[in-house]
Structure 1
Amino acid sequence: MLEIERKFLVKEELLPSLPSGHHLIQGYLSFGTPSVRVRLDTAESGLKNAFLTIKGKGMVSREEFEYAIPFDEAEQLLKLCQGAAIAKRRYIFSVVGEPSLKWELDVFEGENAGLMVVEVELPHENYTFQLPDWIGQDVSEIAAYKNIALAQHPYKAW
């Protein structure tokens, strides 16, 4: 399946009220192409999910395959990961004027604390949409802001 997304920095002082979030911990079993990621996802409600994700090469558009796996197996797989685990709180919401778009705000923790980015998944690469006032710099094509890069070179070390 083709994933098309843009990634932006955030003007934190202009952010709207956020919905309930999810706590994510993820790591990489492979930094190559394709990359292989394992993720634990715990909602504020206590609901737990886990996923194994395989991603192809690309910055804005790339192949992505995601599979639900047992939570306890994902916890074991995290122990096999390369680099640093990434911890973050994710908030998923839509914005006025573009209800069909899903925005995912990530507030990083641990070695990547201080970093906030938001991604929006698009139906095609040339899709035009209005940016909310809380959107900052477009970092979609800056490799350092990819999660895989943050696992190898955390934000606090920049």
Structure 2
Amino acid sequence: MIEIERKFLVRSMHFVDRAVSKTKIVQGFLNTHPERTVRVRIKGQKGFMTVKGKSNASGTTRFEWETEIGHSDAQKLLQLCEKGVLDKTGYLVPFEGHNFEVDVFDGDNKGLILAEIELTTENELFQKPNWLGEEVTGDIKYYNSQLSKQPFNTW
């Protein structure tokens, strides 16, 4: 239940050809308190509820609990979410023994593309594909919960 991940800007669309899946994602937040977030997500035809704790000092590690919920329940819960529901397309891109999850945002965050990689330890080494840009791990303005409040197109 501990999530270790790093987040990067994406500098080109070259990842698309390597993606093994592409999924429409809609997500909102029932709670965006600095100590915890509660997220509702519809990913394809599946619903999920996720609770995330506060990140450590480097922004790489935090508690995460997620469970699948019914699609119709997720749709109903999205109606209760705070303002700023996110709309994006998620790509799963394997690269050199790791998977990158790349989010191409739409709506108020259109133009923003972020990649995340989940790791088993904070110091785990991994290869970076040439389409990966600047690391933004720990920069809270790139957290989905913050993008719902302060969208990319308002920066």
TM-score interval, smaller chain: over 0.9
SS at match of 2:114: strand
**How many corresponding residue pairs?**
150
Match of 2:81?
81
Match of 1:37?
39
Where in structure 1 are there 5+ consecutive unaligned residues? 43-47
Distance in 1, Cα, partners of 2:100 & 2:148: 22
TM-score, structure 1 length as denominator?
Answer: 0.91
**Partner AA of 1:114 in structure 2:** G
- CA deviation map 1:94-135 (0-9, x unaligned): 11xx22x22101000000000001000001001111211111
SS at match of 2:83: strand
Distance in 1, Cα, partners of 2:89 & 2:70: 21
Would the alpha carbon gap of residues 128 and 29 (structure 1) be closer, same or farther in structure 2, given more than 3 Å must change? Answer: same
Distance in 2, Cα, partners of 1:41 & 1:51: 8
Where in structure 2 are there 5+ consecutive unaligned residues? none
Match of 1:110?
107
1:63 equivalenced with 2:63 (yes/no): yes
Greater shift, 134-143 or 5-14, is seen at: 5-14
Q: Quote the RMSD (CA, aligned, Å).
A: 1.1
Specify which of 123, 126, 131 is matched with residue 128 of structure 2: 131
**Partner AA of 1:50 in structure 2:** G
SS at match of 1:105: strand
| Displacement over 4 Å in runs of 4+ | none
**Partner AA of 1:23 in structure 2:** K
CA shift for structure 1 position 13: 5.1
Distance in 2, Cα, partners of 1:13 & 1:49: 26
Distance in 1, Cα, partners of 2:118 & 2:7: 9
Distance in 2, Cα, partners of 1:75 & 1:14: 32
SS at match of 2:128: coil
Distance in 2, Cα, partners of 1:135 & 1:92: 14
Specify which of 123, 137, 143 is matched with residue 146 of structure 1: 143
Distance in 2, Cα, partners of 1:144 & 1:61: 17
